[in-house]
Amino acid sequence: MKKKIRFYQSINTKIVFVIVLLLVFALQLIGANFITQIERQLINNFQEDRQVQMDFLETAILPSLELEASGEETDVDPVEEINSLLTEFSGSGITELQVVNEDLVVMGTSDTTQQNIIGQLSDDLDLRQAVFSESTVPRQVIDPVTNNRRWKLVEPVYSTTDEGQFLGAILMESNIESVYNQISQITWIFLQASGVAIILSLILANMVSRALTKPIKEMQIQTRQIAEGDYSGTLKVYGEDELGQLASLINDLSDDVAEAQESIDAERRRLNGVLTHMTDGVVGTDRRGKIIIINDMAQNMLGLKEKAAIGENLLSVLAVEEEVSLRTILEEQEDLLINAHCGGVPTILRASFSLIQRESGFISGIVCVLHDVTEQERIDEERKQFVSNVSHELRTPLTSMRSYIEALADGAWEDPELAPRFLDVTQNETDRMIRMIEDLLHLSRIDSGKSALDLEIVDMSDMFDHVLNRFEMLIQSTEYQGKNYQIKKDLLKDAIFVEVDPDRMIQVLDNIMNNAIKYSPDGGTITGRMTKNENTVVISISDEGMGIPKADLNKIFSRFYRVDRARSRAMGGSGLGLAISKEVVEQHGGQIWAESKEGQGTTFNLSLPYVPFEEEDEWL
Ligand code: ADP
């Protein structure tokens, strides 16, 4: 995630700040030292200059003071002499000169307005101190009027002739303010130069730090791009320094990550491909059972879209929340059977669960595989149904036979009227059972593929005609006397050669014809019709009997299915005739179906594929 670096947090600012701070410290240190040194030097120079002037003045004044001390009367007035010397001497920064004799009497002053103090005792404290201590008094004072700093030097004067005799003192006051002004000026110049230096260093430091942080910024951009999944960029390596090495490491890393990502993507695509094309549904969840992945098949099976499924609870999507808890699944992982609607068709799904576990044993998710077991369940159900049907079908004749045999054993065998009837019934039931078992064996052979067809090229028209003729004879027999059956033929004139197993095909036709008579209790016309189109020949047998309810039309071809169980059984039907017919027709690559109107009659159709007879074949 992109996080904005604040101004004060940036390396750039930090580098600039440190460099400028260092410079300011250095300037401070240098400046303080430099200015103190200069100040000391300038003041020293000033004081030395004043000392030289003082020495010079002393030499000039000395004869006058000596004269004054000797008290000799000459035509030279020492006071006048001193005064004129002082007036001439003043200037060049000297603000006041005063000379006193050894009794502190003012001998002269350069201040023309103060001429009246000549001949009087000086009230200057420094002069007094110098006279009394006969020593030099150097002092800096502040002018009370102008507030300027003054350098005051009071020096005792000794006689050169009379050794060591104290003659008086000279006071020299000069303006030292100019020196301080000079220092201020120098300080100001220094400050200005420092300011310029700081500004320049700011610019320079900025440039330096930018040069330093540029590769870092580029690395930052590059790593962000890598994090966002863009591995196309390459960092420029500016040199062999640490940053250069880091840049090439990032480039290597980018390549590695790109490669790893590519292989992860390929793996994911492969996994997705496998999941998408799997015939089983796969649903993956997190450890709390929330769906995170669902393949197309599972979406179809559960009838929901990926968007709707993601994030949903697996158990509620499978609608088994009430039967099983997530904990049970995590602990036992037992398969579940689920009733679902796959594209509107009711389906039975078997859900198998497995856990996704880390090495530590931590369960990070569940994988649920959904397998469509509708067909399997249907077959299983049919098998159960079949076994139950067979048992039932065998039990009924056996029970009735048993009761007849019991009756015979109880004495009915002696009854000349009952005995043959009872024996007849048991014989019929036995025949029916044998027929049924034969039928079952036949079906079983077909189911196991052991019933191979004995194919021959047969003229179907001829064969059908033959069957119909046989039935025509049959209905004229005594058994059907009184019932008005008629057989009508609507056959093709030409021969139709079809490759069939004649015995089996006759068995099918017999069965349909038998049914037509059996289920037409009041007689009626039975029509045998034959049509052909391009590649198929269709045989239809219609009756005018009781017909079949619409709901049962598709079921009559199932094993043991009978519309009217009691009637069928009474007629000696096993409920297997049509099932066998269907199998046989399908074995021939054909189809069988029925059309019926309840109470009006039924038509059975069977279509068989055939290769049309070709002219050229005649010559072969
Ligand atoms: P069954 O031995 O009981 O006749 P089939 O398999 O031959 O067994 O026929 C199955 C059921 O189909 C019969 O029990 C009957 O109810 C119905 N059926 C078959 N043919 C006809 C028909 N022509 N008219 C009415 N119902 C028929």
Whole-number pLDDT of residue 4:
65
Residues with CB under 6 A from ligand 1: 511, 515-516, 519, 543, 545-548, 556, 562-564, 568, 573-579, 602
Residue tagged 């010559």 (tokens): 619
Q: How far is CA 576 from CA 161, 528, 605, in A?
A: 175, 22, 18
Proportion of the chain above pLDDT 70, given as a percent? 96
CATH number of 453-617: 3.30.565.10
Residue 613 has pLDDT above 70, yes or no: no
Whole-number pLDDT of residue 91:
60
DSSP reduced 3-state for 234:
coil
Q: What is the pLDDT of residues 43-56, one digit of tens each?
A: 999 999 889 989 99
394 CA to centre of ligand 1 in angstroms: 19
Whole-number pLDDT of residue 212:
82
Give the mean pLDDT of 516-528: 92
> Average per-residue pLDDT in the chain?
88
Atom of ligand 1 nearest to the CA of 541: 23
Query: Which of 393, 514, 515 for mutating ligand 1's site (highest number of atoms within 8 Å of CB)?
Result: 515
Q: Where are the domains of the chain?
A: 12-183, 278-366, 378-446, 453-617
Give the mean pLDDT of 291-299: 92
- Residue 233, Cα to own-chain centre: how many angstroms? 22
14 CA to centre of ligand 1 in angstroms: 102
Residue tagged 């054909």 (tokens): 590
Whole-number pLDDT of residue 92:
64
Question: Residue 620: which pLDDT band, with cuts at 50, 70 and 90?
Answer: very low
Handedness of CA 465, 471, 477, 483 (dihedral sign): negative
Q: Are 318 and 335 in contact (CB under 8 A)?
A: no
Residue 617 has pLDDT above 70, yes or no: no
DSSP-derived letter for residue 363 is E
Q: Are 455 and 501 in contact (CB under 8 A)?
A: yes
Atom of ligand 1 nearest to the CA of 511: 7
73 CA to centre of ligand 1 in angstroms: 187
Distance CA 272, CA 66 (A): 126
560 CA to centre of ligand 1 in angstroms: 10
Q: What is the pLDDT of residues 374-417, one digit of tens each?
A: 999 999 998 898 899 889 888 988 998 999 999 999 998 999 99
Q: What is the pLDDT of residues 212-242, one digit of tens each?
A: 888 888 888 888 888 888 888 888 888 788 8
Q: Which CATH architecture has domain 12-183?
A: 2-Layer Sandwich (3.30)
DSSP reduced 3-state for 425:
helix
Distance CA 287, CA 599 (A): 64
Atom of ligand 1 nearest to the CA of 573: 2
547 CA to centre of ligand 1 in angstroms: 10
Whole-number pLDDT of residue 369:
95
Q: How far is CA 45 from CA 3, 56, 89, 112, 136, in A?
A: 64, 16, 20, 29, 18
505 CA to centre of ligand 1 in angstroms: 18
384 CA to centre of ligand 1 in angstroms: 23
Distance CA 187, CA 194 (A): 10
Distance CA 620, CA 613 (A): 12
Question: Residue 447: which pLDDT band, with cuts at 50, 70 and 90?
Answer: confident
Q: What is the pLDDT of residues 116-164, one digit of tens each?
A: 888 889 888 998 998 888 889 999 999 888 888 999 999 999 888 766 7
Six token digits for residue 6:
């604040």
Say if 278-366 and 453-617 have the same CATH topology: no
Q: Which CATH architecture has domain 378-446?
A: Orthogonal Bundle (1.10)
Whole-model pTM above 0.75?
A: no
Six token digits for residue 282:
């796969």
At the top level of CATH, the class of 278-366 is alpha beta
Rg (CA), the chain: 68
Neighbours of 142 (CB within 10 A): 11
Q: What is the pLDDT of residues 555-609, one digit of tens each?
A: 999 988 888 877 777 777 778 999 999 999 999 999 999 999 999 999 999 999 9
Closest CA to 37 of 193, 194, 190, 198: 190
Neighbours of 574 (CB within 10 A): 21
Q: H/E/C letters for each residue in 169-212? A: EEEEEEECHHHHHHHHHHHHHHHHHHHHHHHHHHHHHHHHHHHH
Atom of ligand 1 nearest to the CA of 579: 6
Q: What is the pLDDT of residues 151-208, one digit of tens each?
A: 999 999 988 876 678 889 999 999 898 899 999 999 999 999 999 999 999 999 889 8
